[in-house]
Amino acid sequence: MGERLRDKVAIVTGASRGIGAAIAAHMAEEGAKVVLVSRKIEGLQAVADEIRGNSGDATPIPCHAGRADQRQDMLDQALKAYGKVDILVNNAATNPHFGPMLTIDDRAWDKTFEVNVKGYFGMIQLVAGHLQKRKAKGSIVNIASVVGMMGAPMQGVYAMTKAAVISMTKTLAMELGGVGIRVNAIAPGLIETKFAEVLVGNEEFRKMIVDRTAAGRVGQPRDIAGGAVFLASDESDYLTGDVMTIDGGWTLA
């Protein structure tokens, strides 16, 4: 067990699998008490059991990040369990429409923005408010995407939400820096997760990405977890408003 996040409490959304589960596990390895958040308890329980099996401390709390009442209830439960929150990792995301932008319907549009933008912002409002009430320093890490910084055919609306997350990160970093709350983002490239299955499972697309990626491979969830731990820790105390690109060099080409 490490100690980079010793005595810290972290909320990680979208923690039932993939990038969120990897971040939560790595934070627990570094000494953090971790609140695991996702819509369904089943996947969270498995992640919590694994963390506890490795001598970590984790509490699973089901919550739809896009719903204000559920967010507040989640925070209340987290504070009851651990007494405070120091770190927020906004990772929960959805992408119900894969296809040309102009073919998306209102329902898919609304769902994408509700989870990917409104959910992130609502979680930040809650945690930042809690930190300010405590007069405590804190770290917020938003998981964005490289597609939020480039054209993204077939993923256009999802990419729009990630561009919004990047903008949100920079503005909140400026607004909250004076009270000791740092806000940074990570922009992953293509990561091998169930969420990205439509991309990583397509051999032609996968080969196209790998061929232009300096690292010569698709990323793994653990590749993102290290960056999140760094941004959450005191090692990055003078870093805010940054977008850390972790894509194996995909966007270099």
Domain boundaries, the chain: 9-193+220-247
Question: So what's the pLDDT on residue 128?
Answer: 98
Is residue 213 within 8 A of residue 250, CB to CB? The reply is: yes
pLDDT bin (cut points 50, 70, 90) of residue 110 is very high
pLDDT bin (cut points 50, 70, 90) of residue 196 is low
Residue 158 known to be catalytic: yes
195 burial level (CB within 10 Å; 0-12, 13-18, 19+)? middle
Question: So what's the pLDDT on residue 66?
Answer: 86
Q: What would the two tokens of residue 13 be?
A: 């959304």
CATH number for 9-193+220-247: choose from 3.40.50.720, 3.20.20.140, 1.10.10.10, 3.40.50.300. Answer: 3.40.50.720
Is residue 149 within 8 A of residue 244, CB to CB? The reply is: no
- Indicate if the pLDDT at residue 204 is higher than 80: no
Instruction: State the Cα–Cα distance between residues 87 and 16, nearest whole angstrom.
Output: 18
Q: Which of 82, 120, 158, 238 is catalytic?
A: 158
